[in-house]
Amino acid sequence: MVIQIQLIEGKKETTIPLIKLTKSKNKQTGTATFVFIKPKTLMEKFSLKSITGVHLLWNNKKIVTNEVDLLFSEGQPFLVRALFIFKNPKEWFEFFSFMNAYSKETGFLISFHLINQEN
């Protein structure tokens, strides 16, 4: 069973990302922002054209985003930021299904900090 993140389709990214989640007030929509610092697949020779999105793969399922930004330092990729947008509870459920599998595979620790955003 393949459980992985790919910054370049077909190449497993081994750098564990920082992930920030947001959710709408009605709890129906939200985002997941993945930040990779010095991602390993981009430390090798690559073409910018080969980065077509960030792919989350598990149990023959896939979530893909094309909302990807790269930050370079001294001509080398330093940081990748990917934004996943979830438009309904089903998409959230699928994302958490991936995160559950990914955390078991990698030892990634999931910690939630709730912020009260009442105005």
| Whether residue 117 has pLDDT greater than 60 | no
Domain membership of residue 11 (yes or no) is: yes
- Confidence (pLDDT) at 77: 87
Tell me the per-residue pLDDT of 89-108, one tens digit each, with 9 for 90 and over: 999 999 999 999 999 999 88
Number of folded domains that form the chain = 1
- What is the average per-residue pLDDT within 16-38? 93
pLDDT band at 59 (very low <50, low <70, confident <90, very high): very high
| Whether residue 32 has pLDDT greater than 90 | yes
Domain membership of residue 68 (yes or no) is: yes
Domain membership of residue 81 (yes or no) is: yes
pLDDT band at 75 (very low <50, low <70, confident <90, very high): confident
Strands (DSSP E) found in the chain: 4-8, 11-13, 18-23, 30-37, 54-58, 61-65, 68-73, 76-86
pLDDT band at 46 (very low <50, low <70, confident <90, very high): confident
- Confidence (pLDDT) at 115: 59
Tokens matching residue 90 = 């089903």
pLDDT band at 38 (very low <50, low <70, confident <90, very high): very high
Buried b (16+ CB within 10 A) or exposed e, 51-81: beebbbbbeeeebebeeeebeeeeeebeebb
CATH number for the domain that contains residue 40: 2.40.30.220
